[in-house]
């Protein structure tokens, strides 16, 4: 069955979901987006995602042409129209159609489209056995260039790191900032465990403050686990007891090798497994 795409106020068939070649989102990556999960027919943490979407737009001086409530309703409408029970929403706001010049203020109206579909997760085997990753040579964008807290359409920095990972036959790569501190993975947030304490880079290091990350931190605190935001170095990753990633698609996944160094005993650790279990229960509550 063909998907229904929400485009600028109405649901249309996939073939009709088109934007102008003059849209600054296409020409320059000028826009913002959110990736949101659907569990058991419920849109997960929708308010938090919409709040971040509007903050990202404000940071790049992009006016979203409808209210937060209306865009939330549109997301839910799109999920229902496509009969999505467990899946993924991609919500995108572009600058809109303009000219070939850079001036964004020529674009009169932003364009919004919402896709609700199934999602390709990592294989279950990776969750059980853990993932191998590498350090990318691609440096995370300087915070004075593109603020890491803004989730913009310009993802080339992350894509180049992802290419490095795939070239090395692993699914993910760690990105470091211009000072050499850990920022994030190409598509996920980073958390490590050392001596029973969970450490994670702060947003200032170049990490997007992930919605999944924030939920996992709260779940950890409910288990009386200490969580500390601090700058981390490559050395910290090499010598930690546990290492895991969080993200909308990844949820919680353990890392067992970094740059050829085995983490812990080479299997996802007990705190990683506990938080993966707690997150699963949290997202599926009420089923």
Residues 236-274: tens digit of each pLDDT: 999 999 999 999 999 999 999 999 999 999 999 999 999
Tokens of 17: 């979901």
Q: How many CB atoms lie within 10 A of CB 3?
A: 16
Q: Treating both helix axes as pointing N-terminal to C-terminal, what angle do 211-222 and 46-59 enclose, rounded to 10 degrees?
A: 130
251-258 and 131-135 strand pairing:
parallel
State the pLDDT confidence band at 121, using cuts at 50, 70 and 90.
confident
- Residue 155, judged by CB atoms within 10 A of its CB (0-12, 13-18, 19+), counts as middle
Q: How many CB atoms lie within 10 A of CB 104?
A: 15
**How far apart, in whole angstroms, are the C-alpha atoms of residue 283 and residue 215?**
10
**How far apart, in whole angstroms, are the C-alpha atoms of residue 107 and residue 254?**
43
Q: How far apart, in Å, are the Cα atoms of 176 and each of 112, 141, 158?
A: 32, 9, 11
Pure H helices in 36-155 = 46-59, 68-81, 124-129
Residues 22-81: tens digit of each pLDDT: 999 999 999 999 999 999 999 999 999 999 999 999 999 999 999 999 999 999 999 999
- Reduce the DSSP state of residue 219 to 3 states and report it: helix
Q: How many helices (H) and strands (E) does the chain have?
A: 8, 15
Q: What is the DSSP letter of 187?
A: S
Q: Could you give the count of Cα atoms lying within 13 Å of 224 in the half-sphere of its Cβ?
A: 0
Domains parsed from the chain with CATH numbers? 4-117 (3.30.470.10), 124-283 (3.20.10.10)
The yes-or-no answer on residue 151 being catalytic is yes
Query: What per-residue confidence (pLDDT) applies to 233?
Result: 98
Asked if 262 contacts 256 with a C-beta cutoff of 8 angstroms, the reply is yes
Give me the catalytic one of 10, 51, 80, 151: 151
Share of the chain above pLDDT 90, in %: 93
Tokens of 84: 């999505």
Asked if 147 contacts 204 with a C-beta cutoff of 8 angstroms, the reply is no
**How far apart, in whole angstroms, are the C-alpha atoms of residue 174 and residue 186?**
7
Tokens of 72: 């939330």
Query: What per-residue confidence (pLDDT) applies to 2?
Result: 84
**Confidence (pTM):** 0.94
Asked if 14 contacts 3 with a C-beta cutoff of 8 angstroms, the reply is yes
Tokens of 1: 């069955």
Spatial CB neighbours of 261, under 8 Å, sequence gap ≥ 6: 238
């Amino acid at each position: 069955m063909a998907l229904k795409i929400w485009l600028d106020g109405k649901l249309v068939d996939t073939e009709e979901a088109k934007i102008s070649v003059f849209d600054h989102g296409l020409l320059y990556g000028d826009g913002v987006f959110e990736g949101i999960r659907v569990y058991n027919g419920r849109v997960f943490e929708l308010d938090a995602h919409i709040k971040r979407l509007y903050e990202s737009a404000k940071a790049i001086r992009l006016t979203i042409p409808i209210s937060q409530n209306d865009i939330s309703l549109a997301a839910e409408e799109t999920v229902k129209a496509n009969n999505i029970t467990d899946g993924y929403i991609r919500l995108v706001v572009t600058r809109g159609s303009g000219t070939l010049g850079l001036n964004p203020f020529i674009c009169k109206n932003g364009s919004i489209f919402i896709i609700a579909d199934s999602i390709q997760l990592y294989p279950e085997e990776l969750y059980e056995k853990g993932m191998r990753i590498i350090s990318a040579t691609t440096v995370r964008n300087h915070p004075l260039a593109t603020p890491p807290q803004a989730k913009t359409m310009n993802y080339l920095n992350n894509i180049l790191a992802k290419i490095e990972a795939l070239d090395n036959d692993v699914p993910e790569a760690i990105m470091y900032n211009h000072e050499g501190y850990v920022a994030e993975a190409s598509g996920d947030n980073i958390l490590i465990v050392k001596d029973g304490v969970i450490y994670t880079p702060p947003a200032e290091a170049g990490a997007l403050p992930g919605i999944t990350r924030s939920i996992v931190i709260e779940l950890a605190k409910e288990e009386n686990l200490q969580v500390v935001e601090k700058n981390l170095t490559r050395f910290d990753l090499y010598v930690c007891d546990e290492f895991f990633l969080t993200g909308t698609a990844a949820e919680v996944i353990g890392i067992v090798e970094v740059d050829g160094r085995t983490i812990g005993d080479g299997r996802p650790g007990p705190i990683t497994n506990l938080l993966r279990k707690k997150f699963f229960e949290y997202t599926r509550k009420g089923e």
